[in-house]
């Protein structure tokens, strides 16, 4: 829509850039799961983009008289990044917003004892607990493993944006500022997560060459940092 984004800034990014333009929603949760900037960090990445067809096709169907029908877009319809951490973990992070698809962030975490996924449905398999080769419903584990913050705040968060996430995020930030403590996400996290955008663009332009991440912490990532997320102030 011409009015959805200010001066259509997001469309302008698709014209000018080819990479993972919006990595934070994917790389942020995975970084928390993997202890990134808290004992491990992102080391290097490769990135690839598909051809660009989706935006032109959408313009032809919905805005046939617009300039966007014949606009050349740099951004491929799907960008895929493969990231390796210093300690040998791997992360796949995709940018996939220009083709028809049901909403899904496609979160999946896998380790030596099992795996869990959030989208498009919530499933888990734990070795020695789940039936062999069978998924279980993730909600069957909620009562046993429910996070203390969610247990404490879920009634207050009911009805808030994004399933209550917006309330909890705002609550945590405001309480950190009131208490004068480090927020859950610090400037080093923000710099590292956002670096995926320019580094992915560089890798795509070099036909998928590996690109190193800067060490924004100058080695401080090696020390696990205490997290206040288990406390409701």
For each of the domains in the chain, give its residue range(s) and CATH number, in order of start.
6-212 (3.30.360.10)
CA 128 to chain centre: 30
Beta bridge partners of 130: none
CB 196, CB 15: distance < 8 Å: no
Here the tokens at position 122 are 């919530």
pTM for this predicted structure: 0.90
Smallest CA-to-CA distance from 111 within 224, 193, 35, 185 is with 35
Distance, CA of 21 to CA of 115 (rounded, Å):
27
Smallest CA-to-CA distance from 42 within 197, 169, 201 is with 197
The model's pLDDT over 157-177, given as tens digits with 9 standing for 90+, comes to: 787 777 777 888 888 888 888
Here the tokens at position 181 are 């403590």
- Cis previous bond, 188, omega within 30: no
Phi, psi of 69 (to 5 degrees): -60, -40
Distance, CA of 131 to CA of 211 (rounded, Å):
41
Q: What is the mean pLDDT of the chain?
A: 92
**Structure-token match 């405001």, residue found:** 174
Longest dimension (CA), the chain: 60
What pLDDT is stored for residue 1 in this prediction? Answer: 64
3-state secondary structure of 63: coil
Burial grade of 76 (CB within 10 A; 0-12, 13-18, 19 or more): buried
The model's pLDDT over 73-126, given as tens digits with 9 standing for 90+, comes to: 999 999 999 999 999 999 999 999 999 988 888 899 999 999 999 988 999 999
């Amino acid at each position: 829509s011409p009015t959805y984004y200010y001066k259509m800034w997001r469309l302008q990014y698709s014209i000018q850039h080819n990479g993972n333009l919006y990595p934070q929603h994917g790389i942020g949760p995975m970084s928390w799961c993997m202890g990134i900037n808290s004992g491990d960090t992102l080391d290097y990445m490769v990135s690839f983009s598909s051809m660009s067809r989706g935006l032109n096709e959408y313009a032809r169907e919905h805005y046939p008289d617009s300039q966007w029908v014949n606009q050349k877009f740099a951004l491929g319809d799907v960008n895929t990044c493969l990231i390796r951490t210093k300690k040998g973990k791997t992360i796949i992070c995709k940018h996939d917003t220009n083709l028809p698809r049901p909403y899904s962030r496609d979160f999946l975490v896998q380790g030596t004892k099992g795996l869990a996924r959030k989208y498009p449905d919530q499933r888990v398999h734990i070795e020695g607990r789940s039936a062999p080769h069978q998924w279980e419903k993730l909600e069957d584990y909620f009562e046993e493993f429910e996070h203390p913050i969610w247990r404490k705040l879920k009634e207050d968060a009911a009805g808030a944006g994004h399933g209550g996430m917006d309330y909890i995020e705002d609550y945590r930030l405001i309480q950190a500022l009131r208490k004068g403590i480090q927020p859950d996400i610090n400037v080093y996290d923000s710099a590292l997560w956002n670096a995926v955008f320019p580094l992915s663009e560089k890798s795509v332009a070099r036909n998928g060459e590996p690109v190193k991440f800067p060490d924004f912490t100058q080695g401080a990532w090696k020390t696990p940092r205490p997290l206040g997320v288990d406390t409701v102030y």
